[in-house]
């Protein structure tokens, strides 16, 4: 491969955040006019590497060659000048600006806005014609759907005349249909001679869309191969470093009587927008109901309403008793007393107080438990610490130091602390959202086993995950959520990713009302 055919070449890139070595001596070469995938688990260092390429972080060591020339990229301005554009996982858009204003921000022509805006309007028209990137230039960002927001981000990069486009986990928030549209756009860009770098942890996307793929594991570059010459199994093995057990071992469920009955549950958010538009389902004892869906379709609101974090309307009964959905008795404390445990989707925001020690976090939500009280006035911190040590040992939390603040544990160990706290309360119903997000493989297997074990004790479990694989392997029944509604129920044995994907895009009609209840 001749030098001048490379769009990007990185040599010996290293970057550390404090004690964490995010990138170790990374080498990678990306040929011009190709779609290059970078795959790896959460925390493998993909995003860090690309942020270095975009000048968002500075590398501790290493060299960057753009188009064969050694290029210093100390800031994003330099990256943009070098023809690099980036679409971040979390969009960097100003909410109360129009599309046009967002596009020109930082790339204005001259100190007055009028000329920049009219020029950008023309350029945008051309770009949306060429690449299927149609968005209303005068729409406010806060009014657009995620699919459109992503197009705005791509337009921003193209407006800056980027030749190399980096996309970080672009499909995490898209429906399969929107994702297809995105890949069509990327193919179009490639045909125009642009280079695309696609960061993802989804094997399917790599296989479908890329020409070459590089695999990262724990901050190092493990391999770069032609996509056509590899297989998903081989890539998975490279990602994890050993053979992966994608199947979860479990016995068939033996559902008992109905534990949770939800009828016409509706939730409005703070802006009075209806997020949950009448959801009904049941969960039986000894059963896992998995809720599949693209993030942002009402799953978070479902968990929040059941967990007592958001007010709702409708009817929810737990073991025959009505649960209040607003006002008195609808808070998290009452829910816990009623026998609902809740592992929240976002442990950093909800599940833990990061500055609190492990033992203080074990009382989080359960500070009123009689076993943690010394008398009417004071808490029994010694008892709490003993209890924490026991839980840390049982769930193999490392390091097993109950005085350590939660923020000092790794993602997997933090999640184990939350899971231990919630499961050890012996709940009737467990709400568990994204149980393995940002968790290492070892901890994933452990947490999955614990969930199955709880089910086998005859508890009801509501599992919400955006990882379709997790939903398919864990659930006894699957419901798909789209736009605040359940699209239908499926038996995991009788469905496949294609069908679920269609439902997640809101395409499939109802086939059965209540799974086996129908």
With respect to another protein, which residue has the nearer C-beta, 149 or 235?
149
For residue 354, the minimal CB distance to another protein (Å) is 8
The residues facing 10 across adjacent strands are: 28, 64
Query: Which residue is associated with the tokens 């997997």?
Result: 412
302 sits near another protein (criterion: CB under 8 A): no
Instruction: Please give the residues from 113 up to 152 whose contact with another protein meets the rule CB under 8 A.
Output: 113-114, 116
With respect to another protein, which residue has the nearer C-beta, 142 or 456?
142
With respect to another protein, which residue has the nearer C-beta, 350 or 409?
350
Total residues binding another protein (CB under 8 A)? 63
With respect to another protein, which residue has the nearer C-beta, 235 or 341?
341
57 sits near another protein (criterion: CB under 8 A): yes
State how far the alpha carbon of 177 is from the alpha carbons of 1, 147, 293, 506, in Å: 36, 10, 13, 10
309 sits near another protein (criterion: CB under 8 A): yes
Which tokens sit at 381?
Answer: 């911190």
State how far the alpha carbon of 477 is from the alpha carbons of 91, 205, 296, 460, in Å: 34, 26, 21, 12
Which tokens sit at 288?
Answer: 């896992």
Interface pattern 158-197 for another protein (x via CB under 8 A): ----------------------------------------
403 sits near another protein (criterion: CB under 8 A): no
CA distance 23 to 28: 12
With respect to another protein, which residue has the nearer C-beta, 57 or 489?
57
CA distance 230 to 221: 17
Which tokens sit at 427?
Answer: 């709940």
Q: Which stretch binds another protein (CB under 8 A): 7-15, 165-173, 314-322, 377-385?
A: 377-385
CA distance 385 to 358: 9
State how far the alpha carbon of 53 is from the alpha carbons of 27, 85, 212, in Å: 12, 10, 18
Q: Which stretch binds another protein (CB under 8 A): 122-130, 227-235, 245-253, 332-340?
A: 332-340
Q: Do 309 and 300 contact (CB within 8 A), yes or no?
A: no
Q: Which stretch binds another protein (CB under 8 A): 95-103, 123-131, 249-257, 477-485?
A: 95-103
Which tokens sit at 518?
Answer: 């129908």
With respect to another protein, which residue has the nearer C-beta, 117 or 235?
117
CA distance 388 to 420: 9
Q: Do 125 and 99 contact (CB within 8 A), yes or no?
A: no
Starting from the edge strand earliest in sequence, which strands make up the sheet with 84-87, in order?
Answer: 84-87, 164-168, 195-200, 35-39, 212-217, 220-226
DSSP 155: H
Q: Which of 293, 351, 435, 488 binds another protein (CB under 8 A)?
A: 351
Instruction: Please give the residues from 416 up to 455 whose contact with another protein meets the rule CB under 8 A.
Output: none
412 sits near another protein (criterion: CB under 8 A): no
Exposed, middle or buried: residue 384 (CB in 10 Å: 0-12, 13-18, 19+)? buried
Q: Which of 352, 419, 439, 466 binds another protein (CB under 8 A)?
A: 352
Q: Which of 136, 237, 331, 467 binds another protein (CB under 8 A)?
A: 331
For residue 223, the minimal CB distance to another protein (Å) is 26
For residue 433, the minimal CB distance to another protein (Å) is 11
354 sits near another protein (criterion: CB under 8 A): yes
Residue 350 exposure: Cα atoms within 13 Å on the Cβ side: 16
Interface pattern 6-25 for another protein (x via CB under 8 A): -----------xx-------
Instruction: Give the three-class secondary structure for 390.
Output: helix
Q: Which of 74, 377, 493, 518 binds another protein (CB under 8 A)?
A: 377
For residue 91, the minimal CB distance to another protein (Å) is 8
353 sits near another protein (criterion: CB under 8 A): yes
Helix axis angle, 497-504 relative to 176-191, nearest 10°? 90
With respect to another protein, which residue has the nearer C-beta, 254 or 326?
326
The residues facing 292 across adjacent strands are: 480
Q: Do 136 and 99 contact (CB within 8 A), yes or no?
A: yes
321 sits near another protein (criterion: CB under 8 A): no
Q: Which of 46, 266, 284, 336 binds another protein (CB under 8 A)?
A: 336
The residues facing 197 across adjacent strands are: 36, 166
For residue 36, the minimal CB distance to another protein (Å) is 21
Rule CB under 8 A: which residues touch another protein?
17-18, 54, 56-57, 75-77, 79-80, 86, 88, 90, 92-97, 101-102, 104-108, 110-114, 116, 156, 307-309, 331-336, 342, 344, 349-356, 360, 363-365, 367-368, 373, 377-379, 381
């Amino acid at each position: 491969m001749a030098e001048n055919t490379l769009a990007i070449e990185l040599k010996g890139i290293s970057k550390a955040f404090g004690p964490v070595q995010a990138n170790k001596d990374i080498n990678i070469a990306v040929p011009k006019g190709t779609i290059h995938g970078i795959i790896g688990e959460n925390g493998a260092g993909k995003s860090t590497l690309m942020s270095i390429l975009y000048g968002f972080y500075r590398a501790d060591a290493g060299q960057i060659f753009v188009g064969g020339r050694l290029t210093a990229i100390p800031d994003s301005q330099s990256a943009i000048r070098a023809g690099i554009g980036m679409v971040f996982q979390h969009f960097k858009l100003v909410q109360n600006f129009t599309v046009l204003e967002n596009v020109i921000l930082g790339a204005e022509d001259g100190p007055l806005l009028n000329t920049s805006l009219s020029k950008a309007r023309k350029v945008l028209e051309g770009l949306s014609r060429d690449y299927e990137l149609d968005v209303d230039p005068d729409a406010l960002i806060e009014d657009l759907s995620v699919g459109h927001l992503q197009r705005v981000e791509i337009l921003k990069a193209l407006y800056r005349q980027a030749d190399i486009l980096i996309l970080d986990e672009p499909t995490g928030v898209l429906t399969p249909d929107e994702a297809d549209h995105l890949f069509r756009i990327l193919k179009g860009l490639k045909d125009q001679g642009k280079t695309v770098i696609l960061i993802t942890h989804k094997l399917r996307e790599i296989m479908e869309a890329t020409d070459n793929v590089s695999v990262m594991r724990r901050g190092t570059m493990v391999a770069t191969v032609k996509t056509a010459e590899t297989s998903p199994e081989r890539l998975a093995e490279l990602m994890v470093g050993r053979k992966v057990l994608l199947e979860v071992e479990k016995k068939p469920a033996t559902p008992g009587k109905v534990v949770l009955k939800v009828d016409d549950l509706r939730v409005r958010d703070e802006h009075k927008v209806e997020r949950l538009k009448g959801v009904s389902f049941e969960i039986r004892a000894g059963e896992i109901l998995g809720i599949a869906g693209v993030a942002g379709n009402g799953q978070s609101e479902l968990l929040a309403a059941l967990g007592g974090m958001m007010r709702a309307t409708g009817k929810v009964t737990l073991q025959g008793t009505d649960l209040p959905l607003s006002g008195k008795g609808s808070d998290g404390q009452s829910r816990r007393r009623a026998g609902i445990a809740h592992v929240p989707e976002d442990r950093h925001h909800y599940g833990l107080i990061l500055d609190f020690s492990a033992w203080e976090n074990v009382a989080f939500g359960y500070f009123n438990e009689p076993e943690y009280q010394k008398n009417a006035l004071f808490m029994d911190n010694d008892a709490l610490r003993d209890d924490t040590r026991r839980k840390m040992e049982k769930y193999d939390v490392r390091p097993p130091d109950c005085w350590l603040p939660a923020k000092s544990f790794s993602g997997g160990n933090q999640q184990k602390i939350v899971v231990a706290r919630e499961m050890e309360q012996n709940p009737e119903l467990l709400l568990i959202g994204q149980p393995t997000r940002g968790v290492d493989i070892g901890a994933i297997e452990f947490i999955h086993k614990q969930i199955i074990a709880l089910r086998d004790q005859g508890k009801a479990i509501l599992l919400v995950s955006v990882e379709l694989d997790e939903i398919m392997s864990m659930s006894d029944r699957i419901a798909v959520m789209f736009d605040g509604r359940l699209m239908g129920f499926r038996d995991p044995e009788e469905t496949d990713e294609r069908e679920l994907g269609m439902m997640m895009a809101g395409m499939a009609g109802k086939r059965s009302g209540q799974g086996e209840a129908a």
